[in-house]
Chain A
Amino acid sequence: MDILQTIKETDKSFSQEIQKVQDIKSLEELRVKYLSRKGIVSTLFDDLKNVSREDKPLVGKSLNELRNSVQLRFDELKEKLESVSGKDHTLVDLSLPGRKTELGSKHILTQTLDEIKTIFKGLGFSIFEGPELESDYYNFEALNFPPDHPARDMQDTFFVNKSYLLRTHTSPVQVRLMTSQEPPVRAIMPGKVYRNEAISARSYCLFHQVEGLYVDTDVTFAELKGTLVSFARQFYGSDLKYRFRPSFFPFTEPSAEMDITCFLCHGKGCRMCKGSGWLEILGCGMVDPNVFKEVGYDPEKYTGYAFGMGIERIAILKYDIPDIRMYFENDLRFLKQF
């Protein structure tokens, strides 16, 4: 039977030709040649009517097999070629920049505060806030700054009048918090504070602080040290060395300042640490019994610690920012670096 022979040969020639196909275009040509209405396979089906009756089932079956096999191989290759090239891969230039969506950023001070908040939240602290426009009572008096005491000179103040001012530290939030609830109290209190100091590369009329407070029945200086060392190690690195040195704040007694080894010179002394090898990072101490009396806590029953740190200073040290004013100029060339 000639037709069976032809079917075999068609299958063979299709196999040879499809092997040479490299792209969609020549595949399409192959499709037209074999699978279109006037293609080789259809023409063979047309010839079926000339086949004798008894041969028809056999020839028909072979033809169907041929058609299916050609179609199958065609489909497979088509899918393969399309997936490799997308459409026409000669038009794709992968080196072109992508269509980018510009995301903004948080201010570096916010980012630094976020880091601090995350660490203290992990240590069990809540976060509270208070007003920036404060009364003398909360900012000074309740914090054991007597009127006309030189301790007030430590913080140059912007006054609205005799009794209202811009808070000079976040410590008044401590008082607000303690007067609003009974111990235990464990919170950090971030926010803006203001100082009436000449503006320069090292000082600005406002900056940000984070205050911390923990009051309970058996809080000790040793625990204060433990908490702050844990914070500093998480924030600055686990190999850090530190020291606590006595200081003075009217609302804590004993008071201390915490230094860590300078991370630029590792304690040898450099411009950043002014040759001392140490960087002061925060002030702290045990809550003064006078403050407890002011907020109605019994100092014989409760003890507590408090601490405070300046965020600008922390970020200046961490990112080597030369001028504190840069934080507030809002120059995109600065903002986009963080």
Chain B
Amino acid sequence: MKISLNWLKEYVDLEGIATAEIIDKLTISGLEVEDVEEKGSGFDNIVVAYVKERKKHPNADKLSVCTVSTGDEEFNVVCGAPNVEAGQNVAFAKIGAIIPNGGFKITKAKLRGEVSMGMICSERELGISDNHQGIMVLDSSLEPGTPLKEALGLDDVVLEVAITPNRPDALSHIGVARDLAAIFNRKMTIPEVKLTECSERIEKYASVEVQDTTNCPRYTARLIKNVTIKESPSWLKKKLTSVGLRPINNIVDVTNFILYELGQPLHSFDLDRLEGQKVVVRRASDGETFTTLDSKERRLTSKDLMICDSEKPVAIAGVMGGENSEVTAETKNILLESAYFNPSSIRKTAKSLILSTDASYRFERGTDPNVTPYAADRAMQLMAELGGGEILTGTIDVYPEKIEPRTVTLRFNQIKRILGFDVDRKDVKDILLNLGLKVVSAEGQEEMTFEVPTFRPDLEREIDLIEEIARINGYDKIPAVSKISITLGGKTDQSSFRDRLRDIANGLGFYEIISNSLQSREIAQLTGKPVEMLNPLSSDMAALRTSLLPGALYAVSKNLNVGEKNLKLFEIGHIFNKLSDGEIKDFSDFSEIPGMMLLVSGKAETVKWYSKERPFDIYDLKGLVNSFLEKICLDNVLDDSYNLVENKNFEYNFTKTYKNQVVGRGGLVSKEMLRKFDISQDVYCFEFDLNLLADIPVPQKRFNGLLKFPKVLRDCAFILDTKVTGQEVVGLIYKSSSGLLKNVELFDIFESKNLGPDKRSMAFSLEYYDENRTLKDEEVDKDFNRAVEAVIKQLNAEFRGTS
């Protein structure tokens, strides 16, 4: 909200305090100044000057040579404007001035042989308007030599203050002034109102009926007759423009002025357009429509509070008035509304209409229910001053249940208990009294009770008073205490498992990505049963991801577009799936699981002086997955299975299972899937369920002693049908061997014409040893032969040899 420093000074004495200090103190006491606009900046060395004489330039038709006076000095100046005349007051830029529009510096110049000691400025050159017809002619009453910014009333500083939602009282100049009064311990002045009322009473012309006193606890109305609608005087226009408001006419301007002065929203109705000269405050009926001041038709519900006359609605209470009763140039008689509405009711209406106004913004944060008569009186006084007319005697004030100020007791020892720092008792009192609180009990040794004004709805409890004391006294006065303390009990790190996985993935060459968990419903449905948003930003982000695959594919797509084609990526993040068909009513209706995705695509090896190019393939993925599991000691715990379930997202896939539960799945991503992401190269990926993975008991490691006896290696090769898998052969070798066989490795595989169709050769290396003795050749031979025999017989293999 914009706050003018000049305006502010009408309510609080800030004499002798530098602007920079005011700004700084406001910020560090809770009213954060986000921006500072110095209105008159850039007008240095530009002053009011009197044109004493104007002569034609001897060498140029369109130029003139003027003598201007700044009171104590005279200057010769060449001017090109047609409208410059002797006897005018003009804006004169002296040597050294920087012209606001364009930023050039005025220097002594010679124009066609005539010396010019400055420049007479146009409005455009001053940055005041676009007018460049001629020079700016100033009011003749101005004293030559007066700095221009003073002459134009531009010597103001306007602050953009961020007001937190708990401080509705600070949404006005008086509110901000009150904080400053407390900060600097200065006096505040609230404008006094003196009204001259006419002999007639208001009740003769108008009545008010409040049907919903819950949502409209107070409705105050006053009436003024025979006003003249006209332009506001310059003091008022200047104030409104300084805070960014557009002056409209004297009546509207007065209500806006009070809004910014006091924070109380007011509304003026044209009394003659109120049917039955009556105001009724009631709920709208469902589906009722109403055209607001901005010419938009609004559809209302029975929850919305309306201001009506005896026939029709004339305003949406606290939000916006209607076209049908607004003040126009012809308006003579005005009914002024100064009301207090239930904040939550106004908020609901403003939310459902998606209509936030200066009025609704303040009402929904909470205005002061007890300021409405004062605000109405102040407005009446100004309207009469600016528009003539007669104020009717009396106020209609429907206020069935008075909202009394709260009382709050402060225990002095609680200040130190919360802040770790004690505030002087006198300062505590000064701060709270300057903020408008009153002492209601005699000061006790241990506590004191205060009455909190109704303009501070945020001060309800002792802790709220402690905050006020801390804030006004200054957070900087509270020491930064570093004490060493420990918290007994085990220290937990729920993120440590995933942090370890990240380190392993890095070691295996993967880069971590973080992708958007929100994606389109269509994409999320490809991998699961998505949870959808009620109010998505766009249809592209309407659902939560059900797998990490789509996000990783977006990353692949993005990288292919920028020429990064060789990718090893991983992501750790939550995935979400609905578990029931209906609406989510409980945490058990959906799952939120941490997952991990490993992805490779492009080339595993690029051309280097020592290597040839090689694309990633499924064996890279398998190997990486296994290395990964090895690092967390689960490589021998999980089982592999292949194409266990058909999955349309993969051309082929393999799974890692633990006790028949799938812990992870991956493979070659299907062409169809890749097409959706505009990816034209193979992508291999694997996704783990980290909850399941983390829960698998890791075999306890124990030192096994170092092998003291030699290992015996035996190799063998077979020609087999291509449908026989390596895993089958390895399984059979183990099965038909004794415990002496410790390891089998498939080390070579090839197909060729010589082997015949549907045949391939596989070679295995078998490792035998015993921890307690040296093996004899004969016993290894016996074991080895039995294994070879089994493969030949059971898998219909041809034995190619041994070594």
CB of B509 within 8 A of CB of A103, answer yes
Query: Given contacts A158-B535, A221-B418, is CB(A245)–CB(B568) below 8 Å?
Result: no
Taking the complex as formed, is B72 at the interface, i.e. its CB lies under 8 A from any CB of chain A? no
- A110 CA to B799 CA, complexed, in Å: 54
- Tell me which of B481, B507, B532 contacts A160 (CB under 8 A): B532
Taking the complex as formed, is B508 at the interface, i.e. its CB lies under 8 A from any CB of chain A? yes
Taking the complex as formed, is B233 at the interface, i.e. its CB lies under 8 A from any CB of chain A? no
Taking the complex as formed, is A105 at the interface, i.e. its CB lies under 8 A from any CB of chain B? yes
- A289 CA to B509 CA, complexed, in Å: 49
Residues B65-105 near A (CB distance < 8 A): none
A45 CB to nearest chain B CB (Å): 40
The tally of residues in A whose CB lies under 8 Å from a CB in B reads 84
A115-135 interface code vs B (CB 8 A; 1 in, 0 out): 001000100101111011101
CB of B464 within 8 A of CB of A223, answer no
B446 CB to nearest chain A CB (Å): 15
Please give 18 more A-B residue pairs, beta carbons under 8 A apart, in addition to A107-B512, A148-B343, A246-B475.
Answer: A99-B610, A102-B568, A103-B509, A104-B509, A110-B514, A121-B491, A127-B494, A129-B494, A132-B592, A160-B532, A184-B487, A220-B418, A226-B479, A246-B30, A254-B418, A254-B471, A330-B559, A335-B512
CB of B493 within 8 A of CB of A230, answer no
- A333 CA to B418 CA, complexed, in Å: 49
CB of B609 within 8 A of CB of A96, answer yes
Taking the complex as formed, is A170 at the interface, i.e. its CB lies under 8 A from any CB of chain B? no
- Residues of A within 8 Å of B166, CB to CB, are 151, 248
Q: Which residue of A lies closest to B564 (CB)?
A: A332
Taking the complex as formed, is B390 at the interface, i.e. its CB lies under 8 A from any CB of chain A? no
Q: Chain A: residues with CB nearer than 8 A to chain B?
A: 96-97, 99, 101-107, 109-110, 114, 117, 121, 124, 126-129, 131-133, 135, 147-151, 153-154, 158-161, 163-164, 166, 184-187, 190, 192, 194, 196, 198-199, 205-206, 216, 218, 220-223, 225-227, 229-230, 243-248, 253-256, 286, 288-289, 303, 327-333, 335-336
- A164 CA to B558 CA, complexed, in Å: 32
Query: Given contacts A124-B486, A151-B166, is CB(A103)–CB(B420) below 8 Å?
Result: no
The tally of residues in B whose CB lies under 8 Å from a CB in A reads 95
Name the 9 nearest CB pairs between A and B, nearest first: A220-B420, A222-B420, A246-B30, A248-B164, A330-B555, A254-B467, A226-B482, A330-B513, A225-B480
A49 CB to nearest chain B CB (Å): 46
CB of A109 within 8 A of CB of B562, answer no
CB of A221 within 8 A of CB of B487, answer no
CB of A286 within 8 A of CB of B570, answer no
Q: Which residue of A lies closest to B418 (CB)?
A: A286
B243-251, B582-590, B734-742: which lies at the interface: B582-590
- A245 CA to B31 CA, complexed, in Å: 9
Of A101, A199, A246, which is in contact with the most chain B CB atoms at under 10 Å from its CB? Answer: A246
CB of A109 within 8 A of CB of B514, answer yes
Q: Which secondary structure dominates chain A's binding surface?
A: mixed
- Tell me which of B347, B533, B574 contacts A159 (CB under 8 A): B533
B439 CB to nearest chain A CB (Å): 22
Q: List 6 A-B contacts (CB under 8 A).
A: A114-B499, A149-B344, A160-B532, A223-B483, A286-B463, A303-B417
- A230 CA to B165 CA, complexed, in Å: 30
Q: Which residue of A lies closest to B462 (CB)?
A: A289
B158-174 interface code vs A (CB 8 A; 1 in, 0 out): 00000011110000000
Taking the complex as formed, is B502 at the interface, i.e. its CB lies under 8 A from any CB of chain A? yes
CB of A198 within 8 A of CB of B537, answer yes
- Residues of A within 8 Å of B516, CB to CB, are 205-206, 328
CB of A222 within 8 A of CB of B514, answer no
- A216 CA to B518 CA, complexed, in Å: 38
Taking the complex as formed, is B290 at the interface, i.e. its CB lies under 8 A from any CB of chain A? no
CB of B482 within 8 A of CB of A229, answer yes
Taking the complex as formed, is B198 at the interface, i.e. its CB lies under 8 A from any CB of chain A? no
Query: Given contacts A129-B494, A133-B576, A159-B534, is CB(A104)–CB(B570) below 8 Å?
Result: yes
CB of A149 within 8 A of CB of B165, answer yes
CB of B417 within 8 A of CB of A220, answer yes
CB of B27 within 8 A of CB of A158, answer no
CB of A254 within 8 A of CB of B534, answer no
Q: Which residue of A lies closest to B544 (CB)?
A: A133
B502-539 interface code vs A (CB 8 A; 1 in, 0 out): 10011111111111111000000000000111111100
Taking the complex as formed, is B709 at the interface, i.e. its CB lies under 8 A from any CB of chain A? no
Query: Given contacts A248-B165, A328-B514, A336-B511, is CB(A225)–CB(B479) below 8 Å?
Result: yes
